[in-house]
């Protein structure tokens, strides 16, 4: 789609535009999206999707095994479920660290250093003989796989233009969300017919295979000159020789490893719009966790399902909902950007991408959550079970129809620092969820599943109101704190 080259909103930094323009050698900012062939882009997308799939497999395969793990380690389900909270917290730290170093060294090194951690942590979990060792190794395991989604989304932002990004993101998240559909089934099957330890050891092997593939085939996708290490390497000393013919001498500081602050991406959350996105996605994901984490103790107890493989199979509808929604909402969000930009005669308003998320946030997300609570408390027979599974499907559908636009929106408005933005957002979300997930089973035990799900549904309505404010007052909110928002010139198609 063609459009004027001066279609900047007054709230997007022109200083950022200059930085982006200077990142290319020939002065044409759009050439940076043509560095890779279409085939190479699909290869990068496939590898990034595999990396993004691992976190959901690490988390999802564990949940159906909680009763067996509790019995094996002589503990309780409530105690073992704390490993879910710990892994969420570790994911937060891992995503933040990965994003920080991805901005400095690039995307490829983060993959090559984090995947071995996943392998080591998974092996440690598989051989754990106490609750303490389980918690420690789960932390390492989750931290190792955590960068996959934030770094993967950043890599996609590196290689796809604004009008293509929604569809590419939808493919990425569609692949990532195979995890919620297959991981619980796989983990439950392994736990029932072999041992929960088998699945954890398999995750370590999968991580090693992906490491080898990344080592051989994954290129650096960061824009030329965008990495901080590149800026440091540009400090050269020609010793008075004609610089046109001399071989530049690298500054010695560029050869040393650096210790970076992994919490630095959280500074982006001082922007009201980025903090709001974090809160909205946290609320939506909490409804998801309220349905899935206690599944063995709610739906399993109500309908007398004790087989871990069958408990895992009950997760499939939510994952299928994710996968169906991802390509649909990706295309719709791209169309929303193009249509509204045309209405404004070429003026780009980033919040237009969020408009398609309004309907699912007010309908599918809260209604499916409260309906599942009622069915888990009062349903019976095959009809009750089928309706509960339908609720899981609709919740997965609604959450992905919110998450797809939100993820693409963050890349749109923070293009140069997209990995840090997504990781900072994930850090906030993980910190809040680590607390929230730990309260789910105690709340159900104290108040019942209906009250717990109703509370989560009420929070979703609050998230909808916040999303409306974000779309309506996006310009004003971006003006409150400018954290280096991307100019439209770094996103549009020439």
Question: What DSSP string runs through 398-415?
Answer: HHHHHHHHHHHHHHHHTG
Nearest to 371 by CA among 290, 285, 283: 290
The rounded Cα 374 to chain-centroid distance in angstroms is: 30
Supply angle C-alpha 278, 284, 285, rounded to 5. 85
Backbone angles phi, psi at 250, to 5 degrees: -70, 140
* pLDDT tens over the chain, length 494 residues: 334 333 344 444 433 333 343 344 444 444 677 888 888 888 999 899 889 888 888 887 887 788 888 888 888 877 887 787 788 788 878 888 888 888 888 889 999 999 999 999 999 999 999 989 999 999 999 999 888 887 888 888 888 887 777 778 777 877 776 776 678 778 888 888 888 899 899 999 999 999 999 999 999 888 877 777 776 665 544 444 444 444 444 444 545 567 777 788 888 889 999 999 999 999 998 998 888 877 777 877 788 887 777 877 887 888 788 878 877 888 888 888 889 888 888 888 889 999 999 999 999 999 999 999 898 888 778 888 889 899 999 998 998 899 889 988 888 888 777 777 877 887 788 778 878 877 888 888 889 889 999 999 999 999 999 999 999 998 888 888 888 786 654 444 33
**DSSP character string of 295-325:** TTTTHHHHTT---HHHHHHTTHHHHHHHHHH
d(CA 50, CA 42): 12
- Cα dihedral 290, 295, 297, 299 in deg (nearest 10): 110
Q: How far apart are CA 190 and CA 407, in angstroms?
A: 33
Q: What is the DSSP letter of 236?
A: B
DSSP H or E segment with residue 278: helix 272-292
Query: At 75, is the secondary structure helix, strand, or coil?
Result: coil
Q: 238-259 b/e with 16+ CB inside 10 Å = b?
A: eeeeeeeeeeeeeeeeeeeeee
Q: Where are the alpha helices (DSSP H) in 160-271?
A: 162-176, 178-193, 196-217, 228-233
Quote the Cα angle for 486-489-491, to 5°: 70
- C-alpha 282/C-alpha 460 separation (Å) is 9
Cα 65 to chain centroid distance, Å, stands at 24
What CATH topology corresponds to 14-224+262-490? Growth Hormone; Chain: A; (1.20.1250)
In the block, tokens 């997930």 appear at 437
End-to-end CA distance of the chain: 8
DSSP string covering 114-153: HHHHHHHHHHHHHT--SHHHHHHHHHHHHHHHTHHHHHHH
Q: Give the whole-angstrom CA distance, residue 187 versus residue 191.
A: 6
Half-sphere exposure of 33 (CA within 13 A, CB side): 20
pLDDT of residue 256: 53
Contact 116, 215 (CB under 8 A): no
Strand partners, 250: 236
Q: Give 461's contacts (C-beta < 8 A, 6+ positions apart).
A: 362, 366
Q: Which helix (H) or strand (E) holds 454?
A: helix 449-472
In sign, the C-alpha dihedral spanning 29, 32, 33, 35 is: positive
DSSP letter, residue 33: G
Statement: the pTM of the whole predicted model exceeds 0.85: no
Beta-bridge partner residues of 236: 250
Task: Name the residue among 77, 72, 304, 309 with its Cα closest to residue 192.
Answer: 309
Q: Could you write out the DSSP letters of every residue in 435-447?
A: HHHHHHHHHHHHH
User: 412 near 491, Cβ under 8 Å?
Assistant: yes
């Amino acid at each position: 789609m063609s459009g004027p080259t001066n279609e900047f909103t007054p709230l997007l930094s022109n200083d950022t535009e200059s930085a982006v323009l200077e990142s290319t050698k020939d002065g044409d900012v759009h050439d940076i999206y043509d560095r890779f062939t279409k085939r190479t882009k699909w290869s990068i997308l496939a590898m990034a999707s595999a990396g993004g799939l691992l976190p959901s497999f690490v988390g999802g395969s564990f949940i159906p095994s909680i009763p067996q793990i509790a019995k094996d380690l002589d503990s309780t389900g409530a105690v073992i479920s704390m490993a879910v909270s710990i892994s969420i917290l570790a994911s937060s730290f891992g995503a933040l660290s990965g994003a920080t170093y991805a901005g400095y060294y690039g995307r490829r090194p983060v993959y090559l250093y984090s995947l071995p951690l996943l392998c080591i942590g998974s092996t440690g979990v598989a051989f754990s003989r106490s609750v303490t060792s389980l918690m420690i190794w789960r932390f390492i395991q989750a931290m190792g796989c955590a960068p996959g989604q934030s770094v993967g989304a950043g890599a996609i932002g590196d290689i796809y233009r604004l009008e293509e990004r929604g569809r590419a993101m939808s493919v990425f998240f569609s692949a990532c969300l195979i995890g919620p559909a297959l991981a619980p089934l796989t983990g439950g099957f392994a736990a029932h017919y072999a041992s929960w330890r088998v699945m954890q050891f398999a995750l370590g092997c999968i991580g090693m295979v992906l490491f080898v593939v990344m080592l051989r085939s994954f290129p650096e996708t960061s824009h030329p000159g965008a990495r901080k290490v590149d800026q440091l390497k540009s400090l050269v000393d020609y010793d008075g020789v004609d610089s046109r013919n001399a071989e530049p001498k690298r500054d010695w500081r560029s050869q040393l490893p650096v210790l970076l602050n992994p919490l630095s991406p959280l500074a982006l959350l001082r922007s009201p719009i980025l903090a709001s996105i974090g809160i909205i996605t946290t609320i939506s994901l909490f409804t998801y966790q309220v349905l899935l984490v206690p599944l063995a103790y709610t739906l399993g107890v109500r309908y007398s399902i004790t087989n871990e493989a069958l408990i895992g199979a009950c997760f499939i509808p939510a994952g299928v909902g994710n996968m169906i929604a991802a390509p649909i909402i990706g295309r719709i969000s791209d169309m929303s950007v193009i249509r509204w930009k045309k209405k404004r005669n070429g003026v780009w308003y980033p919040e237009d991408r969020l408009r398609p998320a309004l309907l699912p946030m007010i309908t599918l997300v809260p209604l499916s959550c409260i309906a599942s609570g009622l069915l888990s408390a009062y349903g019976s027979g095959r009809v009750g079970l089928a309706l509960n599974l339908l609720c899981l499907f609709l919740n997965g559908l609604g959450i992905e129809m919110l998450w797809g636009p939100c993820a693409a929106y963050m890349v749109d408005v923070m293009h140069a620092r997209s990995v840090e933005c997504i990781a900072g957002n994930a850090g906030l979300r993980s910190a809040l969820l680590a607390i929230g997930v730990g309260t789910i089973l105690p709340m159900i035990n104290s108040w019942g599943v209906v009250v717990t799900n109703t509370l989560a549904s009420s929070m979703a309505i609050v998230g909808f109101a916040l999303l409306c404010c974000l779309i309506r007052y996006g310009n004003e909110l971006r003006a409150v704190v400018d954290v280096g928002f991307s100019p439209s010139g770094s996103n549009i198609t020439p």
